Amino acid sequence: MNLEIKDLHVEIEGNEILKGIDLKIEKGETHVIMGPNGSGKSTLSNTIMGHPKYNITKGQLLADGKDITKMKTNERAKLGLFLSFQYPCEVEGVSVSNFLRTALNSVKDEKVSVLDFKKLMEEKMKELGMDKKFGERYLNGGFSGGEKKRNEILQMAILNPKIAILDETDSGLDVDALKAVAEGINLNSDGKGILLITHYHRILKYIKPDHVHIMVDGKIVKSGDRNLADTIEEKGYNWLLNGDASGD
């Protein structure tokens, strides 16, 4: 699947957050969006998935050329879009296993049997180095930050979306957890379009992007390759905020 964002303007309660975003993610490409706090990165991710809080005032979202701008979130998920949350919520009384089987059945045309799902989940948990008992725990209940983020990657692995949007999946992780999450993304990125949203350069030690974009004040102000992220690491965002985007 290709995802194209065309001149996207988005507001919340009358306040414009996104001010004309243009971006195209081709099948198999990894795009990284970086930017300072308040630049609109999470607004973009939530808008792509159809969160009703975010009002599109202008522009389009296209999936393989099909206009999905007004589609509901569940319809987008069935098409193959997936969002990993920055702050995954806790759901007491619902096990990880039951949640994931319900989620998988909701996006597939054919229902997955309990036996087939168990086999799939154990396979993916093994790939991600996760203990089988993890699936019996309540969804995010008492999870550490690293466990919550690895659980998001487990969801991506099982749902196998065509476009995966990862909203600050690396935030709050120590080095070991960061490496584990990055390895999980790499294991499950083959053939997918990936949009990775992050503040930091450090996850790019483990994930190799095809394109890097810098967002400031609701706009993508500069795009490039991995070297652009290296420049941000060296110079910070003030380099762009001050209007000097030459990269020299």
Rounded to an integer, what distance in angstroms lies between the CA atom of residue 74 and that of residue 81? 9
| Phi, then psi, of 148 in degrees rounded to 5 | -60, -45
Does residue 21 sit within a domain? yes
Does residue 248 sit within a domain? no
Task: For residue 243, name the pLDDT band (cuts at 50, 70, 90).
Answer: low
Say yes or no to pLDDT of 141 above 60.
yes
Q: Are 64 and 93 in contact (CB under 8 A)?
A: no
Does residue 76 sit within a domain? yes
Does residue 189 sit within a domain? yes
Q: Are 192 and 178 in contact (CB under 8 A)?
A: no
**Average pLDDT of span 171-196:** 89
Does residue 201 sit within a domain? yes
Does residue 179 sit within a domain? yes
Six token digits for residue 49: 């998935």
| Phi, then psi, of 53 in degrees rounded to 5 | -70, -25
Q: Which domain holds residue 117?
A: 3-241
Neighbours of 81 (CB within 10 A): 26
CB-based contacts of 37-40 (< 8 A; 24+ apart in sequence): 37/199, 39/215, 39/216, 39/217, 39/218, 40/10, 40/215, 40/217, 40/218
Neighbours of 166 (CB within 10 A): 28
Question: What was the pLDDT predicted at 153?
Answer: 92
| Phi, then psi, of 180 in degrees rounded to 5 | -65, -45
Does residue 246 sit within a domain? no
pLDDT tens-digit series, residues 73-118: 999 999 999 999 877 777 889 999 999 999 999 998 889 999 999 9
Provide the mean pLDDT of the chain. 91
Least confident window among 6-15, 81-90, 108-117, 190-199: 81-90
Q: How many independent structural domains does the chain possess? A: 1
The CATH number of residue 82's host domain is 3.40.50.300
pLDDT tens-digit series, residues 30-85: 999 999 989 999 999 999 999 999 999 999 999 999 999 999 999 999 999 999 98
| Phi, then psi, of 20 in degrees rounded to 5 | 110, 70
Residue predicted with more confidence, 86 or 166:
166
Share of the chain above pLDDT 90, in %: 65
Does residue 15 sit within a domain? yes
- Specify the DSSP element, H or E, that contains 66: strand 66-67
Task: For residue 247, name the pLDDT band (cuts at 50, 70, 90).
Answer: very low
